[in-house]
Amino acid sequence: MDPVPAGRPSGPLAGILVADFSRVLAGPYATMLLADLGAEVVKVEGPGGDDTRAWVPPARDGVGTYYLAVNRNKRSVVLDLKDDHDRSLAHELSARADVFIQNFKPGGLARFGLDHESVRARNAGVIYCSISGFGAGAGASLPGYDLLVQAMSGLMSLTGDPAGPPFRSGISVFDVMTGMHSVIGILAALHHRDRTGQGQHVEANLLSSALSALVNQTSAYVAGGVVPGRMGNAHLSLFPYEPMATGDGELIVIAGNDGQFRRLCAAIGRPELADDERFDTVGKRNDNRDVLRPLLLAALATRSAQEWFDVLTAAGLPSGPINTVQGGVELAQRLGLEPVVTLGADAVPSIRNPIRLSATPPDYRLPPPALDQQGADIRDWLERPETRHD
């Protein structure tokens, strides 16, 4: 399928049509990842457009950079689902799609005939992906905002200084993770369809993604009976594994195992600490971190952060400065990771898809679309009879 012939995508998902009825972050991030891999994504927006278009500042040419971050490689059409004709076009799009993705409240699309059962009735092979905050059961009525899930999952109880209040993450971390989990589910379902011809319903929710993403912290509770709490920048199970003060600023210092700790002690001029029976295993270093920390800080105070970074890196130890976002992008540029791509005549900059594929790499075809930018072409395509896609 290609509603607009120019710019037919290539890539491992070329030929896959995604009907994207999602908005804000989790769904649009998922569909952008699919689009980067070659899927044709039709972004269906209501008359007001995706909320994030207006989430400013910051903005580029009046459009929120939040929106620009997760909507490249898509084509936009405005369909008012309360309008009979537009709703019929939405039904037609759902009948032609390989993947239908939405993040309305559970049950919210049933009144428009766009719930899973209705779409499946007109398209038996569809992969229908529902994203919600708290699932379609008892939590169906709860609004799916990332901040709520950060609070209610326990993440905020882990973030911040032990003596201070809980903090949210600097990004909508569970929206992003749920978007990635949705992509994994969609790809698995497409593989199943290739083998069996059968579509299926993929469901992802922010709370389940959060509990999975808390990994060792949720495991501490369910497997160890321990309720972890805030430790600032310290790690529950490793020391040192945190920012540490040097002669002129902080530096991340890590010793993830006994061998690394021995090299760290040698590099800072305190080799005897590695043989001290209080510190010679991971468990002992954790138990005695309040004794070990001032010894390490005294040694690190003798040089600048940059000097220690050079010394520790030369010793093969994990270490690094605490960068701004600008510093992180510039680091990736220096390392040859080419983190920024530009799209379209207006050269809209965007962060590169992190997946590298040797034979079918991600493709950057289109900048994030203006509202209804391809609407006329898409509506014309949907109004024409078409033999169903292969």
Give the catalytic positions in this structure. 175
Token readout for 142 is 């709860």
The Cα 293–Cα 288 span in angstroms is 9
Q: 248-252 long-range contacts, Cβ below 8 Å, gap at least 24?
A: 248/304, 248/305, 249/304, 249/305, 249/321, 250/305, 250/322, 251/300, 251/305, 251/308, 251/309, 251/312, 251/319, 251/320, 251/321, 251/322, 252/318, 252/319, 252/320, 252/321, 252/322
User: Shortest CA distance to 128 belongs to which of 141, 136, 137, 119?
Assistant: 119
- CA count, 13 A, side-chain hemisphere, 65: 8
Degrees to nearest 5, angle at CA 91 with 89 and 94: 110
Q: Tokens in use for 375?
A: 């609407």
Residue type at 85 in one-letter notation? H
**Residue 185 tokens, joined:** 């589910």
With a CB cutoff of 8 Å and minimum separation 6, the contacts of 289 are 234, 239, 240
Residue type, 51: D
381's tokens: 């395509």
Alpha carbons 205 and 154: distance in angstroms, whole number: 16
- Cα(146)–Cα(148) distance, integer angstroms: 5
If you search the block for the tokens 């590298």, which residue do you land on?
Answer: 356
* 241-245, strands of its sheet edge to edge: 241-245, 250-254, 319-320
Q: Which helix (H) or strand (E) holds 268?
A: none
Q: How far apart are CA 48 and CA 231, in angstroms?
A: 43
